[in-house]
Amino acid sequence: MIAEIKHLNSSYTIDLSKPLDISLSLRGDDKNPIAWYLNAPKIQPVVDGDFIGKVAAGSSTNFNNISFNPHAHGTHTECVGHITREFYSMNETLKTFFFTAKVISIEPEKRGEDLVITEAQIRSLLKVDEVEAVIIRTLPNYIEKRSKKYSHTNWPYLEEAAARYIRECGIKHLLIDLPSVDKEKDEGKLLAHKAFWDYPKNTRLDATITELVYVASKIEDGKYILNLQIASFENDASPSKPVLYKII
């Protein structure tokens, strides 16, 4: 289905029958990606006396409880409430869901024991007021990212200046294929989060960060329309389903 989207005084033509899903699904087993030192999420049938919520066990329906952490167990979108004393809800932050976006691929630079996405790298690929959202795909882009166990791996991260430049480019929605834009063990500094949200001086309450996406190698760098879908969670973060559409 071909559709024309009118957005910010511009028109874009996309094919709604050809979505490019860049989310990671939530699984109730060890194949699920995991970060932040947690175990795998659980998807289990409700048990109440003799009742087991599973058709294969004799029930009329499958009736599961799901236990997971949005930040640790898959693709999620978070608002500034992730780092504030005050409560801000992801469900109240995101009010529109289609954005101009750009996919960029970056091989982080080696700095001592760290791998860092630098300001210079971002500057070479992203210009001011170019798009509303940026999706960062780190290289190499192994398919193992879909089930990687990230805890204690010192994953790559955005340097503070890179996150600041992304903000200065007018980016409202930052997406990345890592568990966090910040260093895994940074003593709670959260420099990239704070720089992107401009916290606490001029906090951008309408900006979001989406982590643990997976951008398949077949998806080319370039401009797209992003449909950023979230669940209606009154929480600082929600599981999410970002979907890209090629601009025709």
**Phi then psi for 129, rounded to 5 degrees?**
60, 25
Q: What is the pLDDT of residue 121?
A: 98
CB 204 within 8 A of CB 80: yes
Q: What is the pLDDT of residue 137?
A: 98
Does the residue 47 lie in any domain?
Answer: no
Q: Which of 174, 166, 131 is nearest to 10 (CA)?
A: 131
- The pLDDT tens digits of the residues spanning 37-70 come to 999 999 999 999 999 999 999 999 999 999 999 9
- The pLDDT tens digits of the residues spanning 20-30 come to 999 999 999 99
Structure tokens at 38: 């947690």
Does the residue 217 lie in any domain?
Answer: yes
- The pLDDT tens digits of the residues spanning 96-110 come to 999 999 999 999 999
**Phi then psi for 227, rounded to 5 degrees?**
-105, 110
Q: Which residue has the tokens 């780092």?
A: 83
**Mean pLDDT, the chain, integer:** 97
Q: What is the pLDDT of residue 237?
A: 98
Task: Please report which confidence band the pLDDT of residue 7 belongs to, taking 50, 70 and 90 as the band edges.
Answer: confident
Structure tokens at 32: 């699920």
Does the residue 65 lie in any domain?
Answer: no
**How many Å apart are CA 239 and CA 75, to the nearest integer?**
6
Does the residue 209 lie in any domain?
Answer: yes
Which residues have CB under 8 Å from 122's CB, separation 6+?
104, 106, 162, 165, 166
Reported residue count of the chain is 248
Task: For residues 146-150, give the mean pLDDT.
Answer: 97
CB 178 within 8 A of CB 156: yes
Q: Which residue has the tokens 């193992």?
A: 144
Q: What is the pLDDT of residue 6?
A: 81
Task: Please report which confidence band the pLDDT of residue 144 belongs to, taking 50, 70 and 90 as the band edges.
Answer: very high
Task: For residues 154-164, give the mean pLDDT.
Answer: 98
Handedness of CA 153, 159, 164, 166 (dihedral sign): negative
Give how many domains the chain has, as a whole number. 1
Task: Please report which confidence band the pLDDT of residue 176 belongs to, taking 50, 70 and 90 as the band edges.
Answer: very high
- DSSP assignment of 24-53, as one string? PPP-SSTTS-B-TT----EEEE-EETTEES
**How many Å apart are CA 173 and CA 124, to the nearest integer?**
19
- The pLDDT tens digits of the residues spanning 193-213 come to 999 999 999 999 999 999 999
CATH code, 152? 3.50.30.50
Task: Please report which confidence band the pLDDT of residue 188 belongs to, taking 50, 70 and 90 as the band edges.
Answer: very high
Task: Please report which confidence band the pLDDT of residue 159 belongs to, taking 50, 70 and 90 as the band edges.
Answer: very high
Task: Please report which confidence band the pLDDT of residue 8 belongs to, taking 50, 70 and 90 as the band edges.
Answer: confident
Does the residue 242 lie in any domain?
Answer: yes
Domain hosting 234: range is 2-26+70-246
Q: What is the pLDDT of residue 5?
A: 84
Does the residue 121 lie in any domain?
Answer: yes
Q: What is the pLDDT of residue 228?
A: 98
Does the residue 189 lie in any domain?
Answer: yes
Does the residue 60 lie in any domain?
Answer: no
